[in-house]
Structure 1
Amino acid sequence: MPEASALADLPAASPMHLRQPDMDALRPAFSTHKPRILILYGSLRAVSYSRFLAQEAARLLEYFGCEVRIFNPEGLPLPDAAPASHPKVQELREWSAWSEGQVWVQEFDADGRMKPSSYYDRVVDVCEELVKFTLMTRDASNYLTDRYSERKEEVEKLEQRVSLRSL
């Protein structure tokens, strides 16, 4: 357990709910279903580059074996502008519950800190998950960081060197 002084620097956190990583809990049986990914974007423009990027990401994720849904925000009411029973609110809630991965962003106060809220709690959730994923994947980081773009760049550099030698 961290010392009280370490917790003093986290004024918006609830110390009794913060947990250190549990190494044994990081080794459960692997799920056998495809990873469920929800992609959200906010643009309502007819030509939306964020929607294009969401669609491209969906194609890549599907290629990598994921089940993907893209939430179309058209018709989603502003917060508190419609009841929770609104069809788009219900769709977003159902898809959020279905998904296994999302990122949410919240505004900060004038001091650059988040106030205690359900949004802050979600940030804590994401930080906990980041630590858990890091602990779970760090021993395989060479494989996990074997990037397409870098492999491609290395082949192009090699081809260029070979081409120059044949001159």
Structure 2
Amino acid sequence: MNDTLPLLDTTQLSPMPAAEPAKILLLYGSLRERSYSRLAAEEAARILRYLGATTRLYDPTGLPLPDAADETHPKVAELRDSATWCDGFVWSSPERHGAMTGIMKAQIDWIPLNMGGVRPTQGKTLAVMQVCGGSQSFNAVNQLRILGRWMRLITIPNQSSVPKAYLEFDEAGRMKPSPYYQRIVDVMEELMKFTLLTRDIRDDLVNRYSERIETAAEVSARVNQRSI
């Protein structure tokens, strides 16, 4: 991926160095050869790397539908490994029939809340984006926010929606200068800030009273069972 960023005014945007670079996983929701949700995610990844992050862009090609395979499927295993690896997410979906695509939802559905004692999403950060074939809409990002809350992600306040996306990218697949590009920069900058501020206290953020008393009850039951 070409990492040049000729659109950035670097006098107004500074990298955010950290001892351990923020790790961001980007998901997109279309398999088309010229997928605008993928192109938007690629632009987001370039910006994130400029800011100091390490990124992974997951290709959903070949991912089975949820329940059509098990977690040992190579594409499922790859997705879950990347979800465990990352500190934060970017979800970029087209809007289709007033909603996110099934491809986008399938990826999210394959990521569990808990996985062998590991929480792939809980306490991590999330930025949501969408591309539109027509006028600007926010249906997909609104749905993604609901899913982010369900997955116990820290979904940042800012978001991106690119109307008439076919007009916003050049023949090489790079985004043209516009307020929509600037908004993606805003969103990625905010995602980096939230990620660096919260990742070291992630375990505290998802430490819940209801789960503590449930765990304590389970431990007590095991102790009592052994004493019988």
For this structure pair, what is the TM-score category when the shorter chain's length is used for normalisation? 0.3 to 0.5
* Structure with greater contact order relative to length (CA < 8 Å, sep ≥ 6): 1
Q: Which has the higher strand share?
A: 2
- Whose helix proportion is higher, 1 or 2? 1
